[in-house]
Structure 1
């Protein structure tokens, strides 16, 4: 079987330092005061609970 040769593109072509620099900016895109969960812990708690409940439900009914 022939080997497929692919060139590195995007993040794969960058140095690990450059990858970390770009990735660290993701959490800084919105000021801390404007993050809804940072301002309201109860809202964050409700969202986490809701997401947990959704992930626990079956995706389709059981078929005999």
Structure 2
């Protein structure tokens, strides 16, 4: 007996494009879900994006500090 994953990956219309299949899946999800579902996934996406932005900012600050130190070392070695 096939599992649910197999059923989800089966395309019942071989003439359907990926774009059409995606649109049909989105419409089916929209018909089966309430607004709370979209609010929750939007909130989760926003939280994940904020974490990524914080991570990127921290790494950029560390990189900027390393670049500044490297530039100072290069300047000092040239002018010594």
TM-score where L is the length of structure 2? 0.34
Larger-gyration structure (1/2): 2
**Larger RCO of the pair (alpha carbons < 8 Å, separation 6+):** 1
